[in-house]
Structures are given as C-alpha cells and as structure tokens.
Amino acid sequence: MDIILQLAAELKLQPRQVEHTVQLLDEGNTIPFIARYRKEATGELDETIIRALAERLAYLRSLESRRAEVSRLIEAQGLLTPEIDAALQRAATLQELEDLYRPFRPKRKTRASLAKERGLEPLAQLLMAQGAEDPQLQAEQFLSDEVPSVEAALQGARDILAEQFADDPAHRTRLRQFTYDTGILVTERTGEEDIPGAAEFQMYFDYREAVAKIPPHRILAINRGERLGVLKVKIQVDVERIHALLAEALITNGASPAAWHVRTALEDGYTRLLAPSLEREIRNALTEKAEKHAIQIFAKNLHNLLMQSPVRGRRVLGIDPAYRTGCKVVAVDEFGQLLEHTTIYPHEPQNRWAEALEILASLVKGHGITLITIGNGTASRETERLIAELIREHCPQAQYLVVSEAGASVYSASELAREEFPELDVSMRGAVSIARRVQDPLAELVKIEPKALGVGQYQHDVNQKELASALDTVVESCVNHVGVNLNSASSALLKYVSGLSAKTAQEIVNHRAEQGIFRTRAELKKVKGIGPKTFEQAAGFLRIAEGTEPLDNTAVHPESYPLARRILASIGFSSEDLRDRTSLNQIRERLKTLDPETVAQELGAGVPTVRDILSSLSQPGRDPRDELPPPLFRADVLSLEDLKPGMILQGTVQNVVDFGAFVDIGVKKAGLVHISELSDAYVRHPTDVVQVGDIVTVRVLSVDQQLGRISLSMKL
C-alpha cells in the first residue's frame, strides 16, 4: 500500500495533507515551523499530529527498507517463492517480517542443523506425512557412521520437526497472541537476603497478574526488581492447552504410527525453543509499551513544568538551604541579574538564627525584595520557619515560595553556570537557579538536563536514548510556542529554537557580545553559520522588543511582513503604530471587525496565515504563559503536626504518576492524592484531571507522622 495513503487512512487525514507534510519534512523543515507557518500546505495540522505523522512515516519507511532486505536475503538463498514474496508484501509490522524471515535466518549449530547435515531431513518429512508405514523401518534407511541407531535417526528427525514448528510464522503468531491473552506474569523472591532496597519490592515477593492487564508502572517496577537480583519473573501458561492447539493443527492422522513422533517433536519444539523465545518477545513488548507510557507521562509533566506562569516584575531572594555549610542566599533583580550574595548560618551546628534574620531583613529592604524562594532540599523546613518569622516580624510585604531544587546542582556544576558566574562557588550558583526559576521557569530550566528535573516516573529504568529524544522534543515545543527574546536568551535556550543548533546558538551569543544587540531579525543573517534556510526556520520564533522593526516583536514571520503591513494599512495604520499603546488599542478594535476569509481573498493570501497575523498584530510581545495562574505564594508555615484529617488546604501539583498526584501543601513532604481520590467521576489516568503546576484545593484524609506520609483527596 502506498505510504501516503496508509498514513492518511491511519491518521484520518486527507492524502493531500499527508503528501504536503511529508514533502515539507523531507525538505528539512522543522515540525514547529511547519505547524506554525505552513498551515495552508498541511491543512492546519497541529504539532502533535505532525509529530505522530513523522514518527509513523519513519517506521513505515524502516519497514519498507527491511522488507526489501529480507526479500533480497531469501532470494540469495534461492528460496524466494511467489507465496513467500506475497507474505512479505502483506507483513504490516517488523515483527511479522522477522517471523517470516526466521526459518531462513542463518543459525549457529543446532540439534536440527546437525541432523540435517547427517541426511535426516527426508526422514523428518516422512514422519510429518503421517502415513501407515512403521517409523522404525523408515529410520533404518538412514543409518550411517554418524547415525548409528534407529533411535538416533528418529531423534534427529524429531529435532528437525521441533525447529520447523518453532520457526513457523503462523504458529509463532498464534501462540504469541495466546500467551499474551491467557498468560500470567508470576514473580517471587530470589532468596537473596542482603540486596539493598529489596524491601521496596515486597509486594512482588509472591505476585501474580494477567499479562494482558498488568499496568505499565508495575512492569517497570518488576523489571527493576529482576535487574537488581531481588525477583525471579516468568510467564505461566496452560501448556497442555498449547500442546492440544498444536496437535490439532499438525497431527493430521492420529492413527498413524508416526503421530507419536510428531506429537513429541511439537511438544519439544514448544518447550525447548518456542516458549522461551515467545516469553522474551512478550516481556520485551510489555517493557517497550511500559517505557513508552512512562516517557509520555514524563514528557507531559515536563511540558507543564516548563510552561508554568512566569512571575514578572518582582525582585527575588533565592535561598539554597543547608545545615553545617550554611544557607546560600542571593538577591536578583527583575531580570534575574545578580545583585548580592551571602551565606547565613541559622541552623545546627552554628545556630546563628538572630544574625540570619538581621542579614535577610537588610537584603530584603535594601534591594526591594518582595518574593523569597526556598529550595526544597536539606534544611528546607527549618529555613521555611526562618522566612515565616522574617515576614511576620520584619518584612510583612514579602511572600515566600518553596520551589523544587531538582537539577539546581546539575546546573551549578555545568559549563554554562561557570560562564555565567565564574566568581561564584557551585552552591551559590544553585541559589541563583532557585531564585530565577520562579521568574521565568522556561528560560532557567532549559539549562538543566530534562531528566534531572524530578517530574518523571521510573526515568532511570527506560530507554535513555528515547527518553532524551522525547524530552528534547518537549523542550523544543515549549520554547517555540512561547518565543525567545533574541537579545537576552542564553545559548541553552536558543539551541531549542526551530532551525538552530547548539553551535549556531553559541554563535548568536558570541555575535551579541562582539557586535551588540540585534536591532532587527534580518541581522541574524550576519551570524556565522546562519544561512537562508536556518533563518527561515528560526526567525518567526525570535523576538526583538526594542528594535527598529515593530513586527520583530510579534509571531509574524518575516516572509509575511508585506502582508501584515497591507492589513494594517487597510485599517489606517502602519507597523510603527504598534509601539504606541493608544494606537495599539485602536488597532485591536479595528482588527476585530475584519473577516479573515474576506481579507485573504482580497490580498491573495491563505486564510490560516491571515488569521494568525490578525492575532499576532493584536498582541505584540505576547507570552502565552501569562494567561496561566501564578504560583501559590505563602506568608506562614505549616508543619506535619498541624495537619488534621478534614482540613481543607490549597497546594501545588509537584508530580503526576500513574497511581495519583503528589501535591505540595506547604509541609515537609508532598501529600499523595491517589487516583481514586482525584474526582467523583471515573478517572482513566491522573493526567486527565491534574497537571504539574496546577493549584488545587485538597482535603486531608490521613497523616502518618512516623513515615511522613500524607493522604489527600480532591473530593471535597
């Protein structure tokens, strides 16, 4: 089937949409660029659909390539028949292709291959024919120096039949499905007593669950337990039923003296060859599915973490808490520039609490600080009490926020951090990250390897290459959705812009340092390594707020500037009027009166492009994150002891996993809202109800102070 038609059918798209999108991808256009600026060609496909199409396209092309390779390999053996060729052409998956190729695959020495070398294949064929002849008499014809007895001949023939059964594509497909549908995954303890972390897998020490029903997070947990040597894992099936299924298919004459040999061969072929192979394949398929699911959850959590609303216009005091080595404190201005830094020692063993309060009050008042961010690591709770007292006694205008410090240490030891703050030690750079990540989560968190950000589930147990690829895709999507200030963005942020690479991003930063800020997007063409194609892909996602071209502060692509100017002229304005607040309000009102279809027809443009230009002209410099609710600020501190069942509190969703959501309610540990407590309605998956960064109202169900566990409910 033609790939274009197949993709159109699978994704429920028009063939024309698929054809144009595939062409754009093959020409080297990025997915964000295609989704934003080539809507006429794709029929307004969004980024998610284009990514799915690109992924499926790659698979189908890989399938076609492997199909041609398998066909060539079988033909080289002189064994490609019209029937085999037709089966190869029908194969819809790589698994089907490999099943078909299996009988022809070169093998190392096996019992069956040795029997074939000894000339016993004709005897196997005689047994399979299941005639009336005595197999003992038939076997006598095949005796030789290498086959000294009748039993040796019959055993060799059975070995050949066993391998044929195990390699037969139809049997493999049927029994793979039977094993998946009816198999039971069984786990038990290995007996090893001293394995660190073994207690974590206690529920799996004697555990059984249907293969077809086991959820992804349990597969990954079981795999980890097996990898650590804590668990033994196997798939149990009804072997007698499988033997019966094979006999039903293969024993054509039960009265034949050869029937016993055929039955023995098929049972041996299943037990010795097919069952272990199918168990590996099914467990690999379960693992692949579980990893894909875990990566999707991680990606969704990361997207919501990066897209949290920035806190603009506030000077921030960032604190990286610690005991013995002291709390690292930094003050940053509204733009994240470092103003001052120091270390305080309010906790054990120094206990200089009063001195710490005095220093903090001086910093807050001296720099006009209105927001304090505290890392959630070691000594976080004690530092939170310090800040609550500071606000109560000295700085009532200030508020505080406990932020995840996941990845701060990764950033602080990075080359980028050393370039930004060569004079600061590692822990002080971490405090800067803690302060800045509330001001602009996206700009700060892109400096950190995504899997270090602490919003995943079993992220160390999944395919690391696929995880990294998926998370990079999320970051790329977020960065291009928001847009990037060309004159202030770090190379870490710029490298995710459509069309740019780490190298071209660094060249932009170098150009900025040597030549000064960019006055227009067009000046980007002067940067080393940025040619016409790169400029085309990147320009629309880069913003210049105070340049010479007002349209550079919008999402309008430079290729559409003439069209944008004509639209503005049609309502009596020019692009220069976008700078004036009064004129901008008038422009917005006039643009509302325009019909995109009429404008497109009059100006000879595409309707989607006109619609996007109208939206962009109404909101120069728009950041879509500003429409989201701000984070939850606090002025006082709660302790675990303060919590009582029935209390109603507000909290921030920290992480979403398969079994529920962890919510920060302002005490040391995040509380768990189990999936059963997320809603009165049925919840298929927690991400259908909550996202990382959501502000939610919860009810305390129970508190286990000894274990530090808090159970919450969103059923109010």
Per-residue pLDDT tens for 376-435?
888 988 999 999 999 999 999 999 999 988 888 899 999 989 999 999 999 899 999 999
User: What DSSP letter does each residue of 33-90 carry, written as one string?
Assistant: HHHHH-HHHHTS--HHHHHHHHHHHHHHHHHHHHHHHHHHHHHHTT---HHHHHHHHH
pLDDT at 658 over 80: yes
Question: What's the whole-number mean pLDDT along residues 338-345?
Answer: 97
Closest CA to 432 of 457, 456, 462, 411: 411
Q: What is the pLDDT of residue 453?
A: 87
Token digits for 127?
């047994």
pLDDT at 711 over 90: yes
Question: What's the whole-number mean pLDDT along residues 299-305?
Answer: 92
- Which position has the token pair 């202030």? 488
Residue type at 517 in one-letter notation? I
Question: What's the whole-number mean pLDDT along residues 644-669?
Answer: 89
Q: List all residues 6 or more positions away from 343 whose beta carbon is below 8 Å from its beta carbon.
A: 325, 326, 327, 328, 329, 428
* Long-range own/partner contacts, residues 113-117 (CB < 8 A, 24 or more apart): 114/156, 114/159, 115/156, 115/157, 115/159, 115/160, 116/160
Domains of the chain, first to last? 3-104 (1.10.10.650), 111-183+237-295 (1.10.3500.10), 316-477 (3.30.420.140), 480-627 (1.10.150.310), 640-713 (2.40.50.140)
Q: List all residues 6 or more positions away from 347 whose beta carbon is below 8 Å from its beta carbon.
A: 321, 322, 323, 327, 379, 382, 383
Closest CA to 151 of 120, 179, 176, 109: 120
Q: What is the pLDDT of residue 44?
A: 97
Q: What is the pLDDT of residue 191?
A: 80
8 A C-beta contact, residue 135 and residue 244: no
Q: What is the pLDDT of residue 546?
A: 86
8 A C-beta contact, residue 375 and residue 408: yes
Band the pLDDT of 204: cuts 50, 70, 90.
Answer: very high
Question: What's the whole-number mean pLDDT along residues 210-217?
Answer: 94
Q: For 536-595, what is each residue's pLDDT tens digit?
A: 999 999 999 889 999 999 999 999 999 999 999 999 999 999 998 899 999 999 999 999
Q: What is the pLDDT of residue 1?
A: 54
Closest CA to 275 of 387, 405, 166, 426: 166
* Phi, psi angle pair for 543, to nearest 5°: -115, 145
Q: What is the pLDDT of residue 669?
A: 83
Cα-based angle 187, 189, 195 (whole degrees, multiple of 5): 130
pLDDT at 79 over 70: yes
Can you tell me the distance from the alpha carbon of 119 to that of 141, in angstroms, rounded to the nearest whole number? 11
Closest CA to 659 of 214, 224, 289, 215: 215
Q: What is the pLDDT of residue 366?
A: 96
Q: For 221-274, what is each residue's pLDDT tens digit?
A: 999 999 999 999 999 999 999 999 999 999 999 999 999 999 999 999 999 999
> Which H or E run contains 129?
helix 121-129
Can you tell me the distance from the alpha carbon of 570 to that of 590, in angstroms, rounded to the nearest whole number? 10
8 A C-beta contact, residue 520 and residue 547: yes
- Residue 595, classed as helix, strand or coil, is coil
pTM: 0.86
Q: List all residues 6 or more positions away from 137 whose beta carbon is below 8 Å from its beta carbon.
A: none
pLDDT at 598 over 60: yes
Token digits for 510?
């170098």
Bond preceding residue 103 cis, omega within 30 of 0: no
